[in-house]
Amino acid sequence: MAEPAIKRSDESNKIVDEGIDKGIARLTPKKIEQVINKVLAAETGARLKTYVGTCVHCGLCSEACHYYLSHDNDPKFSPAGKVKQTIWEILKKKGKVDQKFIRDASRIAYTECNLCRRCAMYCPFGIDIAYLISIVRRLCHMLGVTPLYQQDTAHSHSATLNQMWVKEDEWTDSLFWQEEEAQDEIPDLRIPVEKEGAEIFYSVIAPEPKFRAQLIYQAAVIMNVAGVDFTMPATPGWDNSDLCMFTGDYEVMGRLKKAHFETAMRLKVKRIVMGECGHAFRSVYDVGNRWLAWKMPPIPVTHAVEFYYELLKEGRIKIAEKYDKPVTFQDPCNIVRGRGLHDKARYVVDALCEEFIEMHPNREHNYCCCAGGGVINAGPPYKMKRIEGNKIKAEQLFAAKTRGAKVVIAPCHNCHGGLEDIIHHFGLDMELHFLGDIIYKIMEKPV
C-alpha cells in the first residue's frame, strides 16, 4: 500500500511552480543561512525551543493528519514527519541548508499542511505543530520562495487591501448591483454603504464580490428581513480575508487587520459580523489581532454561524418550510477548533433542516477540507495533489452519504472550495451549500 503513496509524492515534487523555482534561483547557501538565522533569532524563542526539545518522536500525531491518512499512512506526510523534514533539520544544521532543501521545505509547508491544528489534539504534549510549520512558511516568505498563486493574492492584499485585485469602484458597484438585483425581490431592500453608527459592519472576503456575488445578495436579504441595522464600507478595509497570514508576510497581515479594525472604528459600529469564511475569522479573531498587539480583537467579531444562531434563536428570521433534503455538516477548523461554534452550528442546522446526518469524526475532530491554510490559493499546479491529499475526506463524506446525506453544508469558503473539488473528483454526487444559501431559500420573506 505504501508504494503508490510514495510515487504520488514523488510526482508532486515535480510540480512546476514559478514562484518557488524562481525564488530558489535567486538564493545562495550563504543568503539562506543569513536569513534563517536572522529570522529565528528575532522572532522565535521559548515556544520553538520547548516544542522541539519536548517532542519524543512518538508518532502519535500521525493519525491526526488527513494528508497522512490519505497517502496510505506515508510517514513523510505525518505532522511530526513534516516537522522533521523542515524545522528540525534547519535547527540541527543551524541554517546551513541548500536551495533544494528550501524548495522541499516550501513545498511541504505551503502545500502539504493546512495549519488546521488537528494534530495539537493528538499530541499528548500539545505541541503546536501548525505553529512550527508557520515558522517554516515565515522563513520561506523571507527567502522569497512562495507558491506563485499564493503570492499573487498576497500582492493583491498589499496593493489593494483585498485578496482579489478588486478595485474600489468595482467593490461599491458590486454592492449597488446586488442591492438592485435584490430589490426585484424585496423592493425596499437596502445595502447601506458607509452608514456611520450602524450596529453591525458586515464584512466579507474578496471572492464574494469577485465571483460569488449572490452571497452578498443573500446576506442582504437575510439582514433586511431580520431588520438588522448593518452597513458595509465603501473604502478598502471591507475585506476580512488574509492570505498574508498564510504566506508568512506578517507585516502586510498587520496592515490588513489594522485597516479592517479601523474601518469598523470609523463607521462607529458596535461589532463586525463576518460572512461564512473560516480563515478570515482566524485572522481577525486569533492571529492578525495578536500581531497588532491586541490580545483579543479591539471590537467584537461574530462569525456568520453565530450570527445566524442569534437570528434564529431570537426569532428574527422565521422558516417558512424546513429544508427537506437530508444534510450533513462540515465543521470548519477555524471556527470549530478555532472558536468552538460546532454546537451553535448544529442548532442552526437543526432549525433549518428536517434531517441532519452527522459525519464522523465531527466537531473538533473533523478532518480538514485540505483547502484551507492557503493550500487552495497555491493554485492549479497543486490542485490534484490537494484533492488526492484528502481521500480520507471523500471516504468520510461517502460514509455520510451511505447513511442518507444528500447535501453537505460547509459554512466556510475554503471548505467549500475544497469539498467542491473532492465531491466532483471522487464522483460523490452530493450537493454543497453555505448555511446562507439554505436560510435564503427557506426563510419567510415579505411578499
Partner 1 sequence: MHDIYNFVSGPLVWVSFIIFFGGSLYRLISMAVLAKKKDVIVYEYMSLKYGLRSILHWITPFGTVKWRKNPILTIVTFTFHICLIFIPIFLSAHIILWKESWDISWWYISDTTADVLAVVVIASCVFFLIRRIVLPEVKYLTSVSDYIILAIVAAPFITGFWTYHQWPGFKIMGIIHILSGEIMLAAIPCTRLIHMVFFPFTRGYMGSEFGAVRHAKDW
Candidate segments 58-66, 194-202, 319-327, 378-386, binder of partner 1 by CB under 8 A: 58-66
- Does 337 sit near partner 1 (CB under 8 A)? yes
Bond before 361 cis per omega within 30 degrees: yes
Least separation, in Å, of the C-beta of 45 and partner 1? 3
In the shown chain, the binding pattern of residues 351 to 390 toward partner 1, with x for contact by CB under 8 A and - for none, equals: ----------x--xx-------------------------
* Integer Cα distance of 363 and 128 in angstroms: 19
- Does 59 sit near partner 1 (CB under 8 A)? yes
- Does 159 sit near partner 1 (CB under 8 A)? no
Contact positions with partner 1 (CB under 8 A) in 269-288: 286
Of 137, 236, 144, whose CA–CA distance to 129 is shortest? 137
Contact positions with partner 1 (CB under 8 A) in 37-56: 43-47, 49-51, 53-56
From 124, 227, 315, 380, residue interacting with partner 1 (rule: CB under 8 A): 124
* Integer Cα distance of 339 and 282 in angstroms: 9
Least separation, in Å, of the C-beta of 351 and partner 1? 21
Cell of 398: 461517502
In the shown chain, the binding pattern of residues 125 to 144 toward partner 1, with x for contact by CB under 8 A and - for none, equals: xxxx----------------
From 122, 165, 347, 356, residue interacting with partner 1 (rule: CB under 8 A): 122
- Does 4 sit near partner 1 (CB under 8 A)? no
- Bridge partners, residue 431, by sequence: 407
Candidate segments 61-69, 212-220, 236-244, 418-426, binder of partner 1 by CB under 8 A: 61-69
Cell of 343: 454546537
Which residue, 122 or 165, is less far from partner 1 as judged by CB?
Answer: 122
- Does 339 sit near partner 1 (CB under 8 A)? yes
Which residue, 63 or 395, is less far from partner 1 as judged by CB?
Answer: 63
Q: Rounded to 5 degrees, what are φ and ψ at 331?
A: -80, 110
* Integer Cα distance of 61 and 78 in angstroms: 7
From 155, 210, 271, 290, residue interacting with partner 1 (rule: CB under 8 A): 290
Contact positions with partner 1 (CB under 8 A) in 65-84: 68, 73, 75-76, 78, 80-81, 84
Q: Are 233 and 208 in contact (CB under 8 A)?
A: no
Least separation, in Å, of the C-beta of 342 and partner 1? 8
In angstroms, the Cα distances linking 183 to 190, 220, 389 are 8, 10, 43
Least separation, in Å, of the C-beta of 350 and partner 1? 20
Least separation, in Å, of the C-beta of 330 and partner 1? 16
Which residue, 97 or 228, is less far from partner 1 as judged by CB?
Answer: 97
- Helices and strands, counts by H and E, the chain: 24, 7
Residue 180 neighbours by CB under 8 Å, 6+ apart: none
SS3 label, residue 193: strand
Which residue, 159 or 296, is less far from partner 1 as judged by CB?
Answer: 296
DSSP 287: I
Of 357, 364, 367, 447, whose CA–CA distance to 406 is shortest? 357
- CA torsion sign, 103 to 104 to 107 to 113? negative
Contact positions with partner 1 (CB under 8 A) in 407-426: none
Contact positions with partner 1 (CB under 8 A) in 102-121: 120-121
Q: In the chain, what's the furthest Cα-to-Cα distance?
A: 70
* Integer Cα distance of 233 and 238 in angstroms: 6
Burial class (CB in 10 A: 0-12, 13-18, 19+), 133: buried
Which residue, 127 or 430, is less far from partner 1 as judged by CB?
Answer: 127
Amino acid at 403: R
Contact positions with partner 1 (CB under 8 A) in 234-263: none
Candidate segments 138-146, 194-202, 336-344, 420-428, binder of partner 1 by CB under 8 A: 336-344
Count of residues that bind partner 1 according to CB under 8 A: 48
Residues near partner 1 (CB under 8 A) = 2, 43-47, 49-51, 53-60, 62-63, 68, 73, 75-76, 78, 80-81, 84, 120-122, 124-128, 286, 290, 295-296, 336-340, 342, 361, 364-365
